[in-house]
Amino acid sequence: MSILGTIIQKSAKLGALVNTPRQPSFELQQQQLLELLREARFTAFGLEYGFHEIMMAEDPIAAFKKAVPATDYDGIYNRWWSKAHLEDAPDVCWPGVVPYYALSSGTSQTASKFIPVTEDLLRGMKRGSRRLFFDLNNYGIPASQYTKHMLMIGSCTQLQRQGNHWWGDLSGIMGLNRPFVMERSYRPGRHITDVPEWGDRIEMIADEAPTWDIGFSVSNPMWLQLVLERVIEKHKLKNIHEIWPNFSLFAHGGVMVEPYKPSLEQLFGQPVHYMDSYGTSEGFLGYQQHPDNKSIKLLSDCGVFFEFVPFTAENFDQNGDMLSDQPQSLRVEEVETGVHYALLLSTTAGAWRYLLGDTIQFTNVEQAEFKITGRTKQFLSACGEHLSIDNLSAAVRAVDEQLRAGVREFSVAAVREGTFWAHQWYVSMENPAVTPEEFVRVVDAELGRLNDDYIVERRYVLRAVRAKILPNDVFLSWLTQRGKMNGQAKIPRVLKGAQLADFESFIAK
């Protein structure tokens, strides 16, 4: 074993002892909020909403919720962030001038968003990343594996300058702020990540792949699959382990990995561990600590204060918008298992009671563990069927298991047909023998098994379920046309409104 391997092994053992915070999450969260209020009390936002007085309150969390309105991106950007972004005004929502803005469009129907990223936020992300690194020990990874290269597939690190700040995708910003001690381990290098075009970067990765010894990868599942396919094709391999025999763990995020597993595993020559991580442009929120527990552990002290809003008709309309700037919101110790919650975040980048747009369900309240279930604007519930992205992904996985379909991408829309409704699926599959009718049969049965509301609506209002099989390139070309072919690119699982019209118009051509 190398000296470095020995050091890392000892560090991993130490990390196992110190990695789990000794205080319960609710205590850490109250301390986190107080730290946020103290740092931002002299900003324009902190002065307007009386952060100093909130800190002195008997119950600071209750006082904070009462004084500060909850908001979405448009609300906080138009009133506050735009001053910092467009004018480089200091001390707006966080001390100083914001140095970076993460360009985030995600799967929403809106234009690109500029999310502030501060040095304090980056420090919190790195703190969470170190914990993730130490917890690789839980996956039985030998110490020698830590000396292998880490493949990080992200966006261009050549950021755009605007005034006194830079903007680009978060993965590009993170690529510029990687820990120096690990710089030698990261692949690809800056000579590749600085190249603007995705296609060119993938080709350069494929060219250099034989010179790397990859042990881990961190990526969006869609992009890892594209890279591995190109490497295998270029070098005429049977699987990726012929060129990277030590590749043993994939830390994924951005989208649910389940629909991608069947096609990914066709590219592997030996088992690979999957580790879920929950990183957003607004902060690093959690990760999967153990391979036998798929839940994500909430990071309670890494720069983010969380509130949990029940995703119900009392708090949200049918479009997924909050009905009030004072919704019912719960602390981490007040949540229940099995309930869908939308996330409100307050962060070290000046987000205050900010609606992230994701929905989660807690699986263990005491341990603050949860699973991601979807998006507030991507629940499919046109007629009361209440389907989460988690439900849709599980149904697609059933198609793969029963029909060996090799599903690559999918989206679904609810369409009105007179006084009734229909679900229209769009799907790409590797197995050409699977028919649309077979796909619908399995999906329909699995959704009925998973969701009682779906069964009821299928009897009375949801009269039809259809599927259209498309080449996978259609989905990727659509992203390219919309300017969303980047390291955070993801296909929306639920299509609505203008986004649905745009997609249907594109495939019609």
Q: What is the DSSP string of 59-99?
A: SHHHHHHHHSPPB-HHHHIIIIIHHHHHH--SSSSSSS---
State both tokens at 450: 């998973």
b/e map 58-86, b = 16+ CB within 10 Å: eebbebbbeebbbbbbebbbeebbebbbe
Residues paired with 461 in a beta bridge: none
- List the one residue out of 406, 412, 368 whose CA is nearest residue 391: 412
Q: What class does CATH assign to 389-508?
A: alpha beta
Q: What is the pLDDT of residue 229?
A: 95
Q: Which residues, 6 or more positions from 10, have their beta carbon under 8 angstroms from its beta carbon?
A: none
Residue 44: left if φ>0, alpha if ψ -120 to 50, beta else—which one?
alpha
Planar angle of CA 219, 222, 227, nearest 5 degrees: 75
Answer for the pair 60, 54: CB distance below 8 angstroms, yes or no: yes
Q: What is the pLDDT of residue 207?
A: 97
- List the one residue out of 286, 352, 305 whose CA is nearest residue 325: 352
* Whole-structure pTM value: 0.84
Q: What is the pLDDT of residue 486?
A: 57
Determine the Cα–Cα distance for residues 87 and 81; give it in Å rounded to an integer: 10
How many other CB atoms sit within 10 Å of the CB of residue 196? 9
State both tokens at 264: 């990914």
Answer for the pair 98, 84: CB distance below 8 angstroms, yes or no: yes
Strand runs labelled E in 259-303: 273-280, 283-287, 296-298
Answer for the pair 46, 63: CB distance below 8 angstroms, yes or no: no
- List the one residue out of 19, 18, 59 whose CA is nearest residue 299: 19
Determine the Cα–Cα distance for residues 362 and 305; give it in Å rounded to an integer: 17
Q: What is the CATH number of domain 3-17+121-280?
A: 3.40.50
- List the one residue out of 126, 138, 121 whose CA is nearest residue 275: 138
Give CA torsion, residues 287, 291, 292, 298, to 10 deg. Answer: -10
Residue 437, Cα to own-chain centre: how many angstroms? 32
- Which strand (E) or helix (H) includes residue 341? strand 341-347
β-bridge pairing 214-219 and 149-152: parallel
Half-sphere exposure of 127 (CA within 13 A, CB side): 18
Boundaries of every domain in the chain? 3-17+121-280, 22-98+300-375, 389-508
pLDDT average per 10 residues of sequence, the chain (509 residues):
42 46 85 98 98 97 98 96 96 98 65 90 94 89 86 89 93 82 81 90 96 94 92 97 96 86 93 94 95 95 97 88 95 95 98 96 96 88 85 93 93 92 95 95 94 89 94 90 66 90 91
Answer for the pair 407, 467: CB distance below 8 angstroms, yes or no: no
Q: What is the pLDDT of residue 105?
A: 60
